[in-house]
Structure 1
């Protein structure tokens, strides 16, 4: 059964990455322009000390990428999925602009973590292959000087935050600090101190009837993450790099729903993006928001009706973009990794192009909204990106449907 034959929430809860297949294929439908297939690859040589194999696309910005890991415990809440586990726990990967030539190559994920994730998703790939994916991140890297906007990322349901590594690396290389949040018991393959790899307990408990509460629960996680990172006693040793007045948030699938839900009730978040997730709460008010999803499910009047209602509620700067040929996982690392395994759907969007489109548009959005850069890419369709359609388009300097200027 194709994932596109089900409702939007069912699409997000599916355990398979490709329609009816147990492969790592991440791209699904037709209608991809031939220009995309011939677009040049941006792959780079592996960092020193890493071997050939699967590799994430090279970041496009000028900064090297460092990474730390934080274990956060919200003692004011019990875990909603495993109450007997005690307080709610999060693992946060902190990506930061670093000095080139410092630190050691960071792993994509452990073999044990990859094995748990692949089993949960029913994917037939050696854990060593996925876990050994080359990154462009370094642990122990020395931070560069300056203050940078913070972007918080939340992954999709069942998928660990590591599947957003490529996007995190690229945003960091362009001049952001990026916090990727792993929510306990909501994905397979994530290790917690003293517990090891925890199971995806929520995988058997979340359905269409309680998807909204799941997103609201994540919103509490994300606001708590901001409390800790932006507070006077931040647990992150490089917290002085953060520009606390410039905070953005984005997520894929359930993470996108959570980003919108967080932004609707947390004024600290200045700009947000939803990558192919539904909307489950009131839309953010008077702040910029990017909707980026598949053409098949997230076009106006399409399968996911929540996007139509959210668009009407959004009353600040906003863009609704759809990508032809993309499927639900095209906005994650699974797309370019599938391409390297030879599993691109010949009728769908190539995984390499999926990665380029995701990082370029999300990167342009946060550069414009948090760093004040002029990003013409967000003005309208371009010949270089024929797969990307602007729904309800507005011209630069003109008024959005809300009457709000299209410039922040």
Structure 2
């Protein structure tokens, strides 16, 4: 069946990692923002608690206007809501034998963690491009902040809300998570370098934010992202020494519609870099007419150039879009990829667990998470059941 020219254009861009931005290569550190905060907890991260469940808290919806050096004003109604909907965490384990030590404590990454968390949103001006950021951050839990920070970069022509499940899982395990709405949509100037700087600008925004500043460890950052967002996350790790580890979801190293290689460099060719790198991916969408994740640009090309320690996890039966929270609501952008044989929910569970375990291992310096990455738990849950194939170096 023949497709229209517009449909072919959408397919070419959506599946092969094109991105849009009007940003330039100037320093992303200077910004102003307008934030809207939505609270879901009645305690703060400065007061640790031994609670092992997620109790109901008091929520306040506020509108906050900030600048990097100005005052803050707030107003708005309040209501009552649950802080999280996570399961009981009384089964949390310390598989590395360091019970009670913050750097050694291990919680099952396939479950929500023991931290309560809040959500707030803001907007940053990055070289004239207004970039949205949604932050999920701990308010109480087994330890007080500052907490490691993780950025999330969405795939091309995909909304950041498709990755909220990753953000809330990470926040429940004690991370400040910045889900960044970088300029990666169908119209505009394609500039992956500018996209990476937009993601990094969120770190500076968080550091100056009246709520996030004191609880964010900006010298202990991880980056994650899907598709184009995976490439952007690897570039961000190259550009900023605050990034200490990166785990990406079916990254695509494409350069479709790019004006030049300076704007859209071959990220895998720029490897290795001196931090741990992990890559989850699939092989259903690597070949065929306008493949969504071409073999010459897919996650294996990143892994091949990475130095140890590096991790590659092939999710058998997933397609390129299986890593989204809800493929059913994705629309036309998801319609061109191969049909997966693995349920969306199965891939969600696996990918979220890997993201938590990876950053637990490298940002929290907890070797006990190795069991969920490559060790006994990973073998039992994923390898023995045929869900994944693991390579490491």
User: Normalising by structure 2, what TM-score?
Assistant: 0.61
Deviations 1:157-189 (A, max 9, x none): 1111111111100011011110000124x3xxx
Q: Counterpart in 1 of 2:295? A: 304
- Contact 1:329–1:335 (Cα < 8 Å) also in 2: yes
Which of 249, 256, 263 lines up with 2:230 in the alignment? 256
Distance 1:236 1:181, change over 3 A: farther
- Contact 1:264–1:284 (Cα < 8 Å) also in 2: no
- Offset, 1:146: 2.4
1:56-95 to 2 correspondences below 5 Å: 60-74=112-126, 77=127, 87-95=128-136
Q: Counterpart in 2 of 1:383? A: 380
1:332-343 to 2 correspondences below 5 Å: 332-335=324-327
| Structure 2: runs of 5+ lacking an equivalent | 2-9, 19-53, 59-78, 88-110, 254-265, 288-292, 331-337
- Contact 1:153–1:250 (Cα < 8 Å) also in 2: yes
| Structure 1: runs of 5+ lacking an equivalent | 15-43, 78-86, 101-142, 187-201, 207-212, 339-344, 395-399, 401-408
- Offset, 1:229: 2.6
- Contact 2:137–2:171 (Cα < 8 Å) also in 1: yes
- Contact 1:247–1:268 (Cα < 8 Å) also in 2: yes
Which of 296, 316, 323 lines up with 2:308 in the alignment? 316
Which of 360, 366, 371 lines up with 1:367 in the alignment? 360
1:180 match: secondary structure: strand
If each structure's strand is expressed as a fraction of its own residues, which one has the higher value? 2
Distance 1:346 1:57, change over 3 A: farther
* Counterpart Cα distance in 2 of 1:276 and 1:288: 17
Which of 159, 180, 186 lines up with 1:203 in the alignment? 186
Q: Counterpart in 2 of 1:331? A: 323
* Counterpart Cα distance in 1 of 2:222 and 2:215: 15
- Offset, 1:144: 7.9
Q: Counterpart in 1 of 2:165? A: 166
- Contact 1:321–1:388 (Cα < 8 Å) also in 2: no
Deviations 1:252-282 (A, max 9, x none): 1111110011112221111012211213322
- Offset, 1:153: 0.5
Matched, 1:214 2:194: no
Q: Counterpart in 2 of 1:157? A: 156
If each structure's helix is expressed as a fraction of its own residues, which one has the higher value? 1
Q: Counterpart in 1 of 2:220? A: 246
User: Normalising by structure 1, what TM-score?
Assistant: 0.58
C-alpha root-mean-square deviation of aligned residues, in Å?
A: 3.8
Deviations 1:303-354 (A, max 9, x none): 322344422321131111111111222112114879xxxxxx9972112211
Distance 1:330 1:267, change over 3 A: same
Distance 1:292 1:236, change over 3 A: farther
Moved over 4 A (4+): 6-10, 46-51, 55-59, 335-338
1:358 match: secondary structure: helix
Q: Counterpart in 1 of 2:102? A: none
- Offset, 1:235: 2.6
1:203 match: secondary structure: coil
Aligned length: 274
Q: Counterpart in 2 of 1:31? A: none
* Counterpart Cα distance in 2 of 1:347 and 1:251: 20
